[in-house]
């Protein structure tokens, strides 16, 4: 059975952010992953995701994410 986008987003947030399982990054992000923010592009693939999530966890060690899909 195919999972919905909402289910995938909830799973990613649960595993990577709430559980801190950064070894699962490759299960959800491509090796050449890029972030597009306004007129800037941040490249770095898995390392970019790992570094970002590591900093998030340092600043907010007990972070929990609630996902609400609108629309």
Dump pLDDT digits (tens) for 8-42. 989 999 999 989 999 999 999 999 999 999 899 99
CB-based contact 11:19 (threshold 8 Å): no
Q: Which of 29, 22, 37 is CA-nearest to residue 8?
A: 29
pTM over 0.75: yes
Token output for 56: 């998030």
Residue extents of the structural domains in the chain: 5-59
Q: How is residue 66 annotated by DSSP?
A: -
- How confident is residue 68, by pLDDT bands cut at 50, 70 and 90? confident
């Amino acid at each position: 059975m195919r999972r919905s986008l909402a289910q995938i987003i909830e799973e990613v947030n649960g595993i990577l952010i709430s559980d801190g399982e950064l070894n699962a990054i490759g299960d959800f992000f491509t090796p050449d992953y890029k972030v597009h923010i306004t007129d800037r592009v941040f490249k770095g693939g898995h390392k970019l995701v790992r570094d970002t999530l590591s900093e998030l966890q340092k600043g907010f060690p007990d972070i929990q994410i609630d996902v609400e899909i609108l629309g």
